[in-house]
Structure 1
């Protein structure tokens, strides 16, 4: 019982010290940091959408070729050095 209590006290103290250190040492205020995270996340989402659209177009072209009976060539993965 004593070990468990000591562990919880240590956990709480560590969380408290870590939280205070994070607040004091953060390079940006909360709203600034949230804005930066939001901007970066939106950029990543847009990049993912563009990549998905390009891949979809590529697969649709391959499907059309397959339907017409055109042989589809599949390139092997590049060899690792």
Structure 2
């Protein structure tokens, strides 16, 4: 399970880096590109926080199950 988590983390980082480079080298104005980058990073931050909250809830359920002996 840890390898899968590492894979997902790597895929997210790769996506962020690739998208950022694509935006930086796209034929748009600097101001427009910066706004797009900020919006994209805010979106990624929200997605990572959502995924972390889901994983945290899943782990708390597993911990509770272990504590109750299920």
TMscore range, shorter length: 0.5 to 0.7
TM-score normalised to structure 1 length: 0.54
- Please identify which structure carries the higher helix content: 2
Q: Is there any run of 5+ residues in structure 1 with no aligned partner, and where?
A: 1-24, 71-81
Runs of 4+ with deviation above 3 angstroms: none
Q: Which has the higher contact order (CA 8 A, sep 6+)?
A: 2
How many residues in Structure 1 have an aligned counterpart in Structure 2?
46
Q: Is there any run of 5+ residues in structure 2 with no aligned partner, and where?
A: 1-24
TM-score normalised to structure 2 length: 0.62
C-alpha RMSD over aligned residues: 1.5
Q: Name 1:45's counterpart in structure 2.
A: 45
